[in-house]
């Protein structure tokens, strides 16, 4: 659409006449803010008076009442109102004038078109191809100071054709006096004023590097014709006038149309190269123009776009929403941004950002809307990802820091602050070694960097230190970020706090290495220490004692007082052992009530012995636990390295064997391992294992040996004697295996089995009509068991048909007098059950009469050695004789054991002992043979003589 001068002319209805006064001209121009006035004479144009003319007049000192005819220019360039704009501009530029008088169709002046009008028309975009302000700004301004008189600068203005005076103070522009001001001042008769009094202030400035479009826009918005150009320090460097903006077009003047077209082409090219959609619509929504991106998007060629409306390209709904948005922009009179989904002609939906601006005509009226639409689908996606990444970064539980390529920290996240205690300000710009704990050698980090450089990635556990100095274990991964050029631009480090985990691990380690109950090292730590101790002993030449300690009778404590008490006792035992040892020594709980010991730095066997004695003495002291006073002893075996030159396992085994020997030796003692007895001990231990298995496998059997009354010729009872049908060794006698079990828990198990078996047998005989009392041998260990009496009474409860007189218990005289109090108590309790006692092997122990009085054993069994020897040994005879006397005195029954011959029986009868037992009467036999034997047995004829 071509525009004509008529469209842009400023109508000058006010006219001057040749005799109008200069003052009047100046006043009216200032009043109307116009730069020129026409002078008419007789209905036709006589001339034109411009601001510049008035400035010239002032400088020439003309009087205010001078008629305008004297200064007006009569050579007025007129032009028809229907001339096309480009042609008009070319005409004006060619004649080097700033005002064109536009005539109507009747040849009458319609108004004036000035440089400003052309600028407004061409619009800001017209200058887009020009460079910055500095390239166009003029240097010919007049500079004055605030106290320069106005009159002084006028002459200069005229001479240099300058359109204004810049008033400065110390080189900084503070005010401006323009031609227009001068005209106004002239009208007001203020020629004598100082610049400081009349200047307009503050000044409008623009930076020399600003875009020309900006300058043009500024002039347009502020309705000014000059901008003061300043540098970065706000120092005056030039002046940009409206004329300067127009000026560069002058040289293109020849072919302004061509230039304009070229400019247009360049603009179009520019528009088409940008991917954004650019399009113009008039107020009614008709497209005035669009770029290629736009026509591509809607799938309609540009030519077909122009003149159409949205409703022809898209759905009614979408067209309406565009219309509404355009209307908003028009109403607002300013650029508005919005976002919205657009459906392309190929059906693809894209999210667009619209920037819509109203297009203004020179009069400030809105004539349309220019829109720039940009596809932001990807940007939105990227933003979303960025936000996501940012939130991951910020809200991650893992600490994250990002460094530059030289490992200086650029950014950290919140978790970093929380985990390390460092704030962002503490670490940004520093290297990550601010976290270093000093727990890793330099090689550790050297290797880390090496891996990072080689593989771009490193992962591992690092001990760091928090800001408060506390150690911090982190599981770290570091990744190198490579730039486009290939070099490392950043490192990203993500770390997880695993301190708690590590501490936990230590606890686990503690659990793994220490006994939970006593806090003593456990077997696995003991093994470690053992290795070290062996190496040390080897180096130092000192002795190392390896001990094995087992509490005596711990089980009864547990049984009678409960496990909590038992546990406390074990803890106290652990502490006492620990206290007895020196710092280099180790005590370890390796089983229920078993402890292993390493006593180091010993110089002699005697010293080792002292250490062991001290230990046992400490353990034997009474324990006060939960108000109970408990006593317990221990059996301790030990071996001495390097006298005993085995490996760790062998040494410990030897100590164990020695402990076993201590148990057998009567407990509450220590035994040093004797390598010579090693082999036998091993065999014994093996046998013990077999005893245990054999008991479970039913390899044991009770034989019964009859007891007879030689005088009456009756069978008064049988003694149960254990036998073992060993799978390889055949029938074994008690002597072959019972001693092994002495003082061991297995003795109780055997004893209980014997009791049960014997009672069952007694019951069986009874049922078969045979009332045969059974004697059962009770081992010392069994008798001392706290459960002995309860167990026995339970057995009777199971067999109520058994009368109590059927069971007699035999205990060794030596055992009975070891702990008279205990034994007499057991005898008393058993008596309540109806069970009687016999003192076995009587005469071998050193029983005193006093004690015998307190032990309510009904029977004394004369030991068989005396019986065997009494026929030829006076001493033995005397003993048998005195035992018989004792029994009579204390009203105890008497049984003679080991009667092998009829003579022995006869002698016993002569001495007053009627009841006997021995091979001479019957050998022990299986239960099944007893009835038949009783049937067949007859007393020896020799005995009838007595």
Choose from Ca ion, ligand C2E, none: what does 779 bind? Cβ within 5-8 Å by kind: ligand C2E
User: Residue 66 carries which DSSP code?
Assistant: -
Distance CA 368, CA 326 (A): 9
Burial of 689 (C-beta count, 10 Å sphere; 0-12/13-18/19+): exposed
What minimum distance in Å lies between the beta carbon of 547 and Ca ion? 37
What minimum distance in Å lies between the beta carbon of 898 and ligand C2E? 4
What minimum distance in Å lies between the beta carbon of 854 and ligand C2E? 23
CA angle 640, 644, 648 (to 5 degrees): 85
- 220 vs 705, beta carbon nearer ligand C2E: 705
Q: Are strands 836-842 and 859-862 parallel, antiparallel or unpaired?
A: parallel
What minimum distance in Å lies between the beta carbon of 669 and ligand C2E? 22
> Residue 608 in contact with residue 543, Cβ under 8 Å?
yes
Asked if 840 interacts with Ca ion (CB under 5 A), we say yes
Helix (H, G, I), strand (E, B) or coil at 74: coil
What minimum distance in Å lies between the beta carbon of 831 and ligand C2E? 20
Site string for Ca ion, 848-887 (x = CB under 5 A): ----------------------------------------
Q: How far is CA 433 from CA 254, 474, 839, in A?
A: 72, 14, 85
Choose from Ca ion, ligand C2E, none: what does 722 bind? Cβ within 5-8 Å by kind: ligand C2E
Distance CA 45, CA 48 (A): 8
- 684 vs 864, beta carbon nearer ligand C2E: 864
- 457 vs 919, beta carbon nearer ligand C2E: 919
Asked if 51 interacts with Ca ion (CB under 5 A), we say no
Asked if 810 interacts with Ca ion (CB under 5 A), we say yes
Choose from Ca ion, ligand C2E, none: what does 634 bind? Cβ within 5-8 Å by kind: none
> Residue 65 in contact with residue 21, Cβ under 8 Å?
yes
> Residue 631 in contact with residue 616, Cβ under 8 Å?
no
- 568 vs 791, beta carbon nearer ligand C2E: 791
Asked if 777 interacts with Ca ion (CB under 5 A), we say yes
Sequence-separated (6 or more) residues with CB below 8 Å from residue 946:
711, 906, 909, 910
E strands along 848-932, which residues? 859-862, 893-896, 915-916, 925-926
Asked if 815 interacts with Ca ion (CB under 5 A), we say no
Site string for Ca ion, 886-905 (x = CB under 5 A): -----------x--------
- Give the chain's end-to-end CA distance (angstroms, integer): 168
- 595 vs 737, beta carbon nearer ligand C2E: 737
DSSP characters over 684-730: HHHHHHHHHHHHHHT-EEEEEEEEEETTTTEEEEEEEEEEEEETTTE
What minimum distance in Å lies between the beta carbon of 924 and ligand C2E? 5
Asked if 813 interacts with Ca ion (CB under 5 A), we say no
- 777 vs 836, beta carbon nearer Ca ion: 777
- 181 vs 757, beta carbon nearer ligand C2E: 757
- 377 vs 901, beta carbon nearer ligand C2E: 901
Question: What residue spans of 810-863 are helical by DSSP H?
Answer: 813-818, 820-833, 849-854
Strand partners, 896: 862, 916
Sequence-separated (6 or more) residues with CB below 8 Å from residue 17:
39, 40, 41, 68
- Exactly one of 326, 553, 841, 940 binds Ca ion (CB under 5 A); that residue is 841
What minimum distance in Å lies between the beta carbon of 846 and ligand C2E? 18
What minimum distance in Å lies between the beta carbon of 693 and ligand C2E? 18
What minimum distance in Å lies between the beta carbon of 774 and Ca ion? 12
- 615 vs 691, beta carbon nearer ligand C2E: 691
Distance CA 815, CA 811 (A): 7
Given the rule CB under 6 A, which residues bind ligand C2E?
705, 720-722, 733-735, 738, 754, 777-779, 810, 840-841, 864, 897-900, 918-920, 924
> Residue 837 in contact with residue 810, Cβ under 8 Å?
yes
- 20 vs 777, beta carbon nearer Ca ion: 777
Choose from Ca ion, ligand C2E, none: what does 900 bind? Cβ within 5-8 Å by kind: ligand C2E
What minimum distance in Å lies between the beta carbon of 901 and ligand C2E? 9
- 149 vs 734, beta carbon nearer ligand C2E: 734
Choose from ligand C2E, Ca ion, none: what does 924 bind? Cβ within 5-8 Å by kind: ligand C2E
Q: Which stretch binds Ca ion (CB under 5 A): 219-227, 234-242, 362-370, 837-845?
A: 837-845
Q: How far is CA 64 from CA 28, 60, 185, 479, in A?
A: 14, 11, 11, 85
Distance CA 871, CA 141 (A): 162
What minimum distance in Å lies between the beta carbon of 580 and Ca ion? 42
The contact set with Ca ion (CB under 5 A) reads 777, 810, 840-841, 897
């Amino acid at each position: 659409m071509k525009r004509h001068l008529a469209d842009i002319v400023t109508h000058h209805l006010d006219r001057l006449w040749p005799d109008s006064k200069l003052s009047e001209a100046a006043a009216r121009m200032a009043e109307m803010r116009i730069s020129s006035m026409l002078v008419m004479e007789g209905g036709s144009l006589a001339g034109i008076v411009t601001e510049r003319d008035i400035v010239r007049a002032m400088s020439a000192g003309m009087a205010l009442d001078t008629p305008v005819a004297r200064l007006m220019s009569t050579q007025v360039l007129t032009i028809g109102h229907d001339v096309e704009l480009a042609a008009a501009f070319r005409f004006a530029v060619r004649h080097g004038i700033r005002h064109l008088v536009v005539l109507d169709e009747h040849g009458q002046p319609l108004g004036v078109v000035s440089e400003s009008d052309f600028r407004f028309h061409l619009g800001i975009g017209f200058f887009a191809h020009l460079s910055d302000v500095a390239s166009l700004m003029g240097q010919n301004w007049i500079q004055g100071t605030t106290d320069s008189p106005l009159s002084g600068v006028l002459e200069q203005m005229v001479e240099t054709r300058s359109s204004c005076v810049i008033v400065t103070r110390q080189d900084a522009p503070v005010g401006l006096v323009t031609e227009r001001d001068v005209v106004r001042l002239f009208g007001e008769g203020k020629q004598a004023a100082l610049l400081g009094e009349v200047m307009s202030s503050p000044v409008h400035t623009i930076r020399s590097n600003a875009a020309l479009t900006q300058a043009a826009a500024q002039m347009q918005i502020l309705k000014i014709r000059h901008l003061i150009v300043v540098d970065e320090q706000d120092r005056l460097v030039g002046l940009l006038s409206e004329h300067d903006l127009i000026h560069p077009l002058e040289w293109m003047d020849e072919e302004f149309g061509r230039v304009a077209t070229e400019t247009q082409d360049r603009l179009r090219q520019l528009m088409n190269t940008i991917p954004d959609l650019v399009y113009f619509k008039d107020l009614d929504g008709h497209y005035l123009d669009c770029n290629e991106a736009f026509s591509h998007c809607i799938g309609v060629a540009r030519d077909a776009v122009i003149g159409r409306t949205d409703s022809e390209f898209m759905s009614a709904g979408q067209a309406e929403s565009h219309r509404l948005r355009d209307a908003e922009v028009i109403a607002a009179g300013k650029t508005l941004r919005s976002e919205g989904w657009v459906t392309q002609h190929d059906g693809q939906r894209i999210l667009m950002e619209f920037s819509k601006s109203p297009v203004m005509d020179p009069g400030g009226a809105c004539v349309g809307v220019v829109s720039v639409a940009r596809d932001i689908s990807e940007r939105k996606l990227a933003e979303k990802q960025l936000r996501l990444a940012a939130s991951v970064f910020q809200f991650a539980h893992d600490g994250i820091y990002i460094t530059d390529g030289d490992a200086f920290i650029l950014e950290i996240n919140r978790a970093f602050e929380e985990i390390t205690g460092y704030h962002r300000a503490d670490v940004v710009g520093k290297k990550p070694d601010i976290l270093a704990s000093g727990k890793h050698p330099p090689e550790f980090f050297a290797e880390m960097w090496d891996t990072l450089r080689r593989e771009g990635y490193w992962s591992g556990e690092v001990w760091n230190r928090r800001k408060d100095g506390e150690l911090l274990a982190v599981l770290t991964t570091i990744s190198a970020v490579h730039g486009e050029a290939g070099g490392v631009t950043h490192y990203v480090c993500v770390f997880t706090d695993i301190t708690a985990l590590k501490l936990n691990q230590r606890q686990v380690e503690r659990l793994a290495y220490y006994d939970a109950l006593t806090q003593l090292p456990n077997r696995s730590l003991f093994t470690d220490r053992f290795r070290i101790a062996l190496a040390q002993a080897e180096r130092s030449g000192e002795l190392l004692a390896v001990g094995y300690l087992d509490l005596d009778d711990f089980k009864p404590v547990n049984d009678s007082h409960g496990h909590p008490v038992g546990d406390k006792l074990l803890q106290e035992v652990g502490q006492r052992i620990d206290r007895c040892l020196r710092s280099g020594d180790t005590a370890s709980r390796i089983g229920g009530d078993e402890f292993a010991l390493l006593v180091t730095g010993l110089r002699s066997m005697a010293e080792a012995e002292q250490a062991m004695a001290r230990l046992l003495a400490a353990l034997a002291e009474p324990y006060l636990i939960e108000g109970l006073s408990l006593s317990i002893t221990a059996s301790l075996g030990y071996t001495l390295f390097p006298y005993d030159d085995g490996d760790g396992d062998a040494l410990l085994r030897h100590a164990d064997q020695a402990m076993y020997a201590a148990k057998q030796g009567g407990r509450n003692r220590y035994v040093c391992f004797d390598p010579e007895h090693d082999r036998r001990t091993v065999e014994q231990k093996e046998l013990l294992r077999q005893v245990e298995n054999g008991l479970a496998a039913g390899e044991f059997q009770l034989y019964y040996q009859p007891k007879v009354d030689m005088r009456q010729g009756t069978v008064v009872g049988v003694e149960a004697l254990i036998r073992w049908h060993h799978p390889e060794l055949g029938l074994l006698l008690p002597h072959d295996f019972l001693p092994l079990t002495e003082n061991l828990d297995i003795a109780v198990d055997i004893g209980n089995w014997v009791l049960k078996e014997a009672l069952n047998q007694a019951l069986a005989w009874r049922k078969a009509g045979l009332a045969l009392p059974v004697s059962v041998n009770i081992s010392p260990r069994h008798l001392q068991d706290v459960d002995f009496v309860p167990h026995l009474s339970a057995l009777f409860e199971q067999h109520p048909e058994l009368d109590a007189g059927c069971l007699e218990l035999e205990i060794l005289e030596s055992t009975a007098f070891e702990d008279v109090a205990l034994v007499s108590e057991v005898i008393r309790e058993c008596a309540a059950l109806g069970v009687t006692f016999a003192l076995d092997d009587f005469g071998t122990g050193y029983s005193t009469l006093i004690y015998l009085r307190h032990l309510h054993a009904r029977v004394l069994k004369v030991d068989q050695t005396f019986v065997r020897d009494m026929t030829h040994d006076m001493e033995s005879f005397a003993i048998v004789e005195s035992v018989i006397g004792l029994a009579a005195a204390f009203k105890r029954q008497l049984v003679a054991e080991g009667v092998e011959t009829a003579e022995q029986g006869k002698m016993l009868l002569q001495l007053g002992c009627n009841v006997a037992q021995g091979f001479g009467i019957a050998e022990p036999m299986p239960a099944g043979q007893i009835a038949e034997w009783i049937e067949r047995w007859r007393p020896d004829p020799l005995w009838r003589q007595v």
